[in-house]
Amino acid sequence: MQNITAKTKISELIKLNSNSIDAIASLAKPLEKLKNPILRKIMASRVSIAEAAKMGGTTVEEFQRVLRPLGFNLETEIKDKEKAATDLKPSWLSQADQVDIDFYDVRPIIDEGADPLKEILGRFKTVQPGKILCIINNFVPTPLIHLLKQEKAEATFVETINDKEFHTYFLKKEKETAHSSTTANEKLQMDDAASFEAICAQFAAEEKKEIDVRELEMPGPMQVILAELEELPSGNALYINHKRVPVFLLEELADKNYEVHINNREEGNVKMLIFKK
């Protein structure tokens, strides 16, 4: 038996036994994203078993149940001291006044079959620096946590109300970065077909990586593009086939040193080229 713990990354499980993908996906609908190779690439290396359990609204014990037949021995015992440290609210939250916390319940949006990412990012944008946004959900939004912690959130904390309700707190940074006043519209270039092809021609074939995110559900396209940009070698460009102009991605890139070119060819067919200046 292979010994693992709640801190083991999902990517490690998959590397040891690829059948763990289907086993984990069977536990909860949010975990079915692991079946998508692109989303799996993003999620698996960042999410531990414990985080995935919260994200799926399930338990570490349930992971043990489906992973044991695959040869994994998941140690589920948590020392009292460790559990207490996990449950203890940080001072920035415990000392915050209720008026400083914006509570936003996204469960009705999800129940309608929609993705609340757009609404969450818009809501977080209105939160004053040093104040807190609390997302109320029926699972832990781990990808969102990683996304906001990259730039905009000073700290995060997840409070488990019960196995179907989780409160995720985001503390907004007191100070924005030096380029925070730069808007997405100032950073992007809307090109016609000719000028877009001309800028693409500046990069040799081996210097361009092409991806297609048109079939992905939100927030998949944004997550995939950000992950690819993290690994993009210096002097190279990312060529993207998209079905719309990704406004929130552009806002995410506004404070970073990227140049974005967009050719909106027709409905559902948007070409993008992103590279570092």
**Looking at residues 150-164, what average pLDDT do you find?**
81
Q: 11: burial class by Cβ within 10 Å (0-12, 13-18, 19+)?
A: middle
Q: What is the pLDDT of residues 189-221, one digit of tens each?
A: 678 889 999 999 999 999 999 999 988 876 778
**Quick check: 82 pLDDT over 50?**
no
Q: Which residue has the higher pLDDT, 249 or 163?
A: 249
Which residue intervals of 59-206 are DSSP H helices? 60-67, 80-87, 91-94, 107-111, 117-126, 142-151, 184-187, 193-200
Which residue intervals of 127-188 are DSSP H helices? 142-151, 184-187
What residues form DSSP beta bridges with 240?
211, 272
Angstrom distance (rounded) from CA 181 to CA 204: 33
Angstrom distance (rounded) from CA 154 to CA 14: 31
Q: Which domains does the chain carry? A: 2-75 (1.10.3910.10), 89-172 (3.30.110), 184-276 (3.30.110.40)
Q: 140: burial class by Cβ within 10 Å (0-12, 13-18, 19+)?
A: buried
Which pLDDT value is given to residue 80? 45
Angstrom distance (rounded) from CA 277 to CA 257: 6
Q: What is the pLDDT of residues 217-243, one digit of tens each?
A: 767 788 889 889 988 999 999 999 998
